[in-house]
Structure 1
Amino acid sequence: MAASEPKRIGVSFEVKPHAYDPVTNPELFEGVVARRIVAFLIDFLILSLPVVFVSMFIFVIGIVTFGLGFFLYGLLWPGMVVWAIVYYGMTLGSASSATIGMRIMDIEMRTWYGAPAYFVLGAVHAVVFWITISAITPLVLVVCLFNERRRCLHDFLVGTIVINNVERAAALRTLHRPA
Structure 2
Amino acid sequence: MRPAPGEVLHFSEDPAIERFVPHVAATAVETTPYVWAVDARSAPSYWFPRDCPRAMAWVRAGTTDLDRERIIGAGSGTRVHAIEYAWLDAMRTTTLYAYRLPAAAFAEIASPGADPHAHVATEPVVPLGPPEPVGDLVDCHAAAGIQLRLLDNLWPFWDEVITSTVGFSGIRLRNAAARP
Compute the TM-score of the two structures, normalised by the length of structure 2: 0.23
Compute the TM-score of the two structures, normalised by the length of structure 1: 0.23
> Which structure shows the higher strand fraction?
2
**Which structure exhibits the higher relative contact order, with contacts defined as CA atoms closer than 8 Å and separated by 6 or more residues?**
2
> Which structure shows the higher helix fraction?
1
Greater Cα radius of gyration, structure 1 or 2: 1
